[in-house]
Amino acid sequence: MSLQQIVETTTQGLGYDLVEIERSAGGLLRITIDLPWTPESPDGLITVEDCEKVTRQLQFALEVEGTEYKRLEVSSPGIDRPLRSERDFERFAGEVIDITLKNPMGEAAAGQVSPNRKKFRGTLERVEAGWQIVWSDEPEPKPGQRVSKKKVPAPLQVLGFVLDELKEARLAPIVDFKGRSRA
């Protein structure tokens, strides 16, 4: 059995989704898990106990299969969770994400965006042809800064893409330390 199969079988058997497997120098094996998602169920959070349970079971399964590693680390995906599958994109539609394209935009940029640009941050939306992100290049006003009502906001920009065009996609790590929603 391959490492991928062992880890997938073990995590799914315990009721978790496998997000990522990473092998690092020095024998570190890093496994990222998440709770299964369906459109009907609310989002749950991975706890330390969840990670501990998966770690114990994986240690046993990897020993039985004779897989070499020095240290095993099981964790939650965190605030900058990678998006890998169509299901991940469906789950996080409406959220702010960071994407990196495999190739620069080239002539498709049509003058508004640098044709060499590959990285974008915007709100993820589902469209018929696939996916798109929407963003504005206007900086956010600083707290307490007065914004003129006469000021014309920067236009929204849209980039459509399919998953095959992406090198990487992650949730944007946006944290509000004030604890208040923006109004």
Q: Domain 3-75: which topology? A: GMP Synthetase; Chain A, domain 3 (3.30.300)
pTM of the model: 0.77
How do the pLDDT tens digits run along the chain, 183 residues long?
889 999 999 999 999 999 999 998 888 999 999 988 766 655 678 899 999 999 999 999 999 999 889 999 999 998 899 998 888 899 899 999 999 999 887 655 555 677 788 899 999 999 988 899 998 877 777 777 887 778 777 778 888 888 999 999 999 988 777 765 554
Listed in sequence order, the residues at least 6 apart from 117 whose beta carbon sits closer than 8 Å to its beta carbon are: 104, 105, 109
Q: Domain 86-139+151-171: which topology? A: SH3 type barrels. (2.30.30)
**CA neighbours closer than 13 Å in the CB half-sphere of residue 20:** 18
DSSP state of 82: B
Residue 47 in tokens: 């706890």
Backbone φ, ψ for residue 151 (5° rounding): -65, 130
Q: CA-CA distance, 144 to 34, in Å (whole number)?
A: 38
**Residues of each domain in the chain carrying CATH 2.30.30:** 86-139+151-171
Task: Please state whether 89 falls in left (phi above 0), alpha (psi between -120 and 50) or beta.
Answer: alpha
Chain segment 142-165, per-residue pLDDT in tens = 777 887 778 777 778 888 888 999
Torsion over CA of 11, 16, 19 and 24, rounded to 10 degrees? -40
Chain segment 94-123, per-residue pLDDT in tens = 999 999 999 887 655 555 677 788 899 999
**Residues of each domain in the chain carrying CATH 3.30.300:** 3-75
